[in-house]
Amino acid sequence: MHNGYLKSLKDVVHFYNTRDALPRCQPGDPGEKVSCWPAPEHPEGMNCTQLGHLWLTSKQEDQIIAFLKTLTDGYISAAN
């Protein structure tokens, strides 16, 4: 996202689903991004209470990602 911490759409959807449901990680925790999240860089930015504990299953997260990948503006890059 804005600082490059979340590298994939799966990371982003999982973060929005579990940000407030999972515990805070300790530095170097091997479960980071899966079973815990580090403390926010700027806690004052955590003013949204509608995200962070959505109770979605992993399968539901994957379904959201599959849906998001269907969205397009019709742009076809020259690299394709």
pTM: 0.75
Q: pLDDT tens, 22-56?
A: 999 998 899 998 899 988 887 766 666 667 889 99
For 13-56, the DSSP string reads HHHHHHTTTSPBPPTT-TTBTTTBBPPPS-GGG---SSSS----
Q: pLDDT tens, 48-78?
A: 666 788 999 999 999 999 999 999 888 887 8
Give me the phi and psi of 74, to 5 degrees please. 90, -5
Q: What six digits make up the tokens of 49? A: 């209470």
Measured CA distances, 50 to 41, 71, 75 (Å): 20, 23, 32
